[in-house]
A and B are shown apart, each in its own frame.
Chain A
């Protein structure tokens, strides 16, 4: 209590720093009131995050704290059970002494506390971490599996060598930094050397080696492999600490162990030169082989690196192509990748074209008048709506603007494609006749069905059908006419007889023509200017305009945004079931017959439950302070406003 009063006093003092501090009781009372209000405001604003979160949430499910529908424990189900027998009583007394739960024997107080200790957010973070770790682990596992599966021996060999090199490097470092560890490693190596010496590995005595030995006569690579085996043996059995003498010996040994007939084989298979075949024991190739190995070590290392890089690259390539394939699988498995990608790009192009066409009318219709009512307002009237016919009639009653414009004869073929309400019958249009075949050339929709010959045939048929009327020149004429009509005319304001002699057959002088013939500024370029086989009508279509949005709706910032929001279909005709389900999920879900209780503070704000009586951890205090500052700021602002009001 005393502390509280002290704190209060301090707060009051702080506030009163700029002014003189009055000790009048009334004033004091008001001050405390203000403080109490600020305290409550700060306390209440701990809900801010939750409220914001709920407002932004895509979907809310009410009631909020639903119990899990899974099976319950027996203790929870059997609630009204009482202790009866003396044995039970004794047991329960024991439980009591050890502060075990009795009435609802599911969790001990300690357990409950530990459960409450982790808030939802913490738990989420922790879970995310665990998930990440698990994912990483699985990635590594998958990688290891994949690498294990690779059949290429070369790859493994290279890998092993790379590892070995790495190890050596590390070992060198270890010698400097951690001599004990290095010693241990050395011991390990020694052990492995002993094992190698004991075993028959790499001794060219196995099945494989024998078969190779036979092959070696004719095959250079087999020979090389055997050599490598021996080399490996030599390397492994090499003493590490004293490397000088053994090497030579073992080398010689290795050479000796190679069977003699191996040397008889033909090192260079030259089909062109038959004389070379007859050669018997030949030292050179062997020597060269060994020497190359010795000399080329450095090069080999480079090669290894390159190889590793190449493997990586290949794998990545394969992965990418795999991905593409997966994407395309639904559409067509059999087509080759290139085809597929081509198909995709075409697809995208087409869609974008279509959407552009679709978006044109909305842009056109931007100048519709009659936006007097606000968004939220209901259109209240005395008309009762009972069926769909009434709704149709409703338009005529409510809509004040059936705008009749004296417009040019509408063709608007392109617009018509994107607007269904415009159900005017169309004549045979050049666009339909010609562009279809062009599309057929571009898009391999039915590559197996339509052959070149057939297409030619089609073209010829079309040509035959339209042999009489010259469609193309008609079209060009039509287009030029429209262009001419769209161009502004020169306004002639010359008055004959003013400032000159008048009479029949007199032309106005040049200065007059120059001055009084007014040329209007050229109109903006036509949309179909660069499209030779299209006419885009830029006139507004009144029948379509009734269905078009005339103003950019509120949350959108530009037309592109709005159009994109309209463009994506959400129906099951265009999307898979799961996508539809996801896109059409309602914002609020309520359970039938369930009472939706108001929020309970303990469920949502953890800190509050652990701080009874206003004492709290440092973090909470900090928050409070901030909130208080905010409140102060706002209250200052308000004070200013209020003072204005009072002045009034």
Chain B
């Protein structure tokens, strides 16, 4: 007679040492774990709900300025330091983790129009309405010593913006003209101008460091190469662009914030049509900044909201607002890709999480794994109506919502009108223009 005996191999259940983790046998036989899809769907739904529940993006508010914030810049070498300039000419240095002001400098008379920190993180430059460029030391002066700039340059006209080169000791300012300066000289090395317009913003390309772009008040965006004697090319749009920002990971893309409530991403090799039109704001967009990974950008608008856009999507993935936040004038994305800083009219700098529901601080391995899994689940089931509905839901203040509705109606009416015109005119005489083509008036060589 054959006797059946249960026999187990001790290797399967005995630990080598008592310090080992207990072995948990697991059978992955799919018949033992049925209903994969429905179970994962439920998990995805729960993950989506929790993501929304935990979406608390607002971290802190830094108050202390006595006028609206006009510009913010990041410290080049330190994540915890931020420099901000206000409309009363005051510049403040902030320590972000402690949420306190380290230092206050009365830098200019009138507005501080632009700040940029030097690449080495030892000093920063400010420009103001008093036609001066000032270089300041980032280290505070000793006790009882007066705050004085390292260097002051008196210009001929008001400067409206400044940006520093990524590696060399040159910087660029804009105003009546776009000027390139050497730190050692008191007059610009080179000046560019195209027509007689004033410029509102100028930025160095962080990757191709010889390239420059500026926004002018004649509704144009002008490209420059510092090695050439003249500007390269000019795009004229239907409305004025306020600021622009280069993608730090993709050398030939930049995004500009326009007065017509949209943002436009351009490829500098094909300037006649923007690559993407980003729509969602209901008022003029005042500032834009790319995330250091180059995947997303944040925009600040006159409609009192901040929006985060994926760089290749036409609509925002996130909108931030608070009751007390007024027109947002400047916005920056922190260099570790975790936070967003916004400066607004009502004298506050606000610190937001870039990823609203992300847990801050150190995560244990299991927490991390769970977060990754949840994120992937949401991504996997993103097309399912319930998941999508919950993931997309955002609260908006009533007046913005109203404006949005209004604008949708206007847009629809415009579209209808155009259709009618096309219907009643000679075929081909009213060309069909895509949304991208509509906003560019001309490219001037």
Interfacial residues, chain A to chain B (CB-CB below 8 A): 29-30, 32-34, 36-37, 40-41, 43-45, 47, 51, 54, 60, 62, 330-331, 347, 350-351, 354, 358, 374, 376-388, 391, 394-395, 398-399, 417-421, 445, 448, 546-550, 553, 562, 565-567, 569-576, 580-581, 583-586, 588, 590-601, 631, 634, 638, 641-642, 644-646
- Is the CB of B223 closer than 8 A to any CB of chain A? yes
Q: Name which residue of chain B comes closest to A45, CB basis.
A: B269
Which residues of B (387-444) have their CB < 8 Å from a CB of A?
Answer: 389-390, 392-398, 401, 404, 431, 437, 441-443
CA–CA, A600 to B245, complex, Å? 17
- Is the CB of B139 closer than 8 A to any CB of chain A? no
CA–CA, A590 to B231, complex, Å? 37
B272 touches A36 (CB 8 A): no
- Is the CB of B359 closer than 8 A to any CB of chain A? no
CA–CA, A394 to B386, complex, Å? 10
Among B57-65, B105-113, B144-152, B248-256, the one that faces the other chain is B248-256
Partner of A574, one of B33, B251, B313: B33
CA–CA, A354 to B250, complex, Å? 45
A638 touches B443 (CB 8 A): yes
Instruction: Give the size of the chain B interface in residues (CB under 8 angstroms).
Output: 89
Q: Name which residue of chain A comes closest to B360, CB basis.
A: A592
B431 touches A644 (CB 8 A): yes
B292 touches A596 (CB 8 A): yes
Number of A-B contacts defined by CB within 8 Å? 243
Which residues of B (232-279) have their CB < 8 Å from a CB of A?
Answer: 232-233, 248-252, 268-270, 272
Q: For residue A419, which residues in chain B have a CB less than 8 angstroms away from its CB?
A: 38
A383 touches B395 (CB 8 A): yes
- Is the CB of B49 closer than 8 A to any CB of chain A? yes
Nearest chain B CB to A627 CB, angstrom units: 9
Q: Name which residue of chain B comes closest to A368, CB basis.
A: B385
B36 touches A574 (CB 8 A): yes
Q: Name which residue of chain A comes closest to B271, CB basis.
A: A638
Known contacts: A377-B315, A569-B40. The answer to whether A584 contacts B373 by CB under 8 A is: yes
Q: For residue B185, which residues in chain A have a CB less than 8 angstroms away from its CB?
A: none
A599 touches B30 (CB 8 A): no
Q: For residue B394, which residues in chain A have a CB less than 8 angstroms away from its CB?
A: 378-381
Nearest chain A CB to B2 CB, angstrom units: 12
Which residues of B (340-386) have their CB < 8 Å from a CB of A?
Answer: 362, 369, 372-373, 375-377, 380-381, 383-386
Further 15 A-B residue pairs, CB within 8 A, beyond A383-B393, A571-B40: A29-B230, A33-B231, A44-B269, A378-B280, A378-B394, A381-B394, A394-B389, A417-B35, A419-B38, A581-B369, A595-B79, A601-B208, A634-B269, A642-B272, A646-B442
B335 touches A595 (CB 8 A): yes
CA–CA, A360 to B389, complex, Å? 23
A585 touches B372 (CB 8 A): yes
B270 touches A634 (CB 8 A): yes
Q: For residue B33, which residues in chain A have a CB less than 8 angstroms away from its CB?
A: 573-574
Write out, one digit per residue, whether chain B residues 113-126 have a CB within 8 A of any chain A CB (1) or not (0).
Answer: 00000000000000
Q: For residue A642, which residues in chain B have a CB less than 8 angstroms away from its CB?
A: 272, 442-443
Interfacial residues, chain B to chain A (CB-CB below 8 A): 4, 28-31, 33-43, 49-50, 52-53, 77, 79, 166, 206-209, 211, 223, 225, 228, 230-233, 248-252, 268-270, 272, 280, 292-293, 295, 313-319, 335-338, 362, 369, 372-373, 375-377, 380-381, 383-386, 389-390, 392-398, 401, 404, 431, 437, 441-443, 445
Q: For residue B442, which residues in chain A have a CB less than 8 angstroms away from its CB?
A: 642, 645-646
CA–CA, A565 to B379, complex, Å? 11
- What are 8 A-B contacts defined by CB distance under 8 Å? A37-B233, A385-B395, A420-B38, A571-B43, A584-B373, A596-B337, A598-B249, A631-B269
A391 touches B53 (CB 8 A): yes
Q: Which 5 A-B pairs have the closest CB atoms?
A: A376-B315, A598-B206, A598-B248, A596-B292, A569-B36
CA–CA, A417 to B395, complex, Å? 37
B252 touches A378 (CB 8 A): no
Q: For residue B373, which residues in chain A have a CB less than 8 angstroms away from its CB?
A: 570-572, 580, 584
A33 touches B445 (CB 8 A): yes
A44 touches B208 (CB 8 A): yes
CA–CA, A34 to B271, complex, Å? 13
Partner of A547, one of B29, B30, B369, B384: B384
A398 touches B393 (CB 8 A): yes
CA–CA, A114 to B442, complex, Å? 49
Nearest chain B CB to A34 CB, angstrom units: 5
Q: Name which residue of chain A comes closest to B9, CB basis.
A: A333
B445 touches A34 (CB 8 A): yes
A36 touches B335 (CB 8 A): no
CA–CA, A600 to B396, complex, Å? 40
Partner of A381, one of B28, B29, B396: B396
A641 touches B252 (CB 8 A): no
Nearest chain A CB to B248 CB, angstrom units: 4
CA–CA, A639 to B369, complex, Å? 53
Q: Name which residue of chain B comes closest to A572, CB basis.
A: B373
B314 touches A376 (CB 8 A): yes
CA–CA, A575 to B376, complex, Å? 15
Partner of B251, one of A33, A420, A599: A599
Interface centre among B4, B36, B166, B441 (most CB of A within 10 A): B36
CA–CA, A243 to B404, complex, Å? 107
Nearest chain B CB to A396 CB, angstrom units: 11
B392 touches A47 (CB 8 A): no
CA–CA, A598 to B207, complex, Å? 6
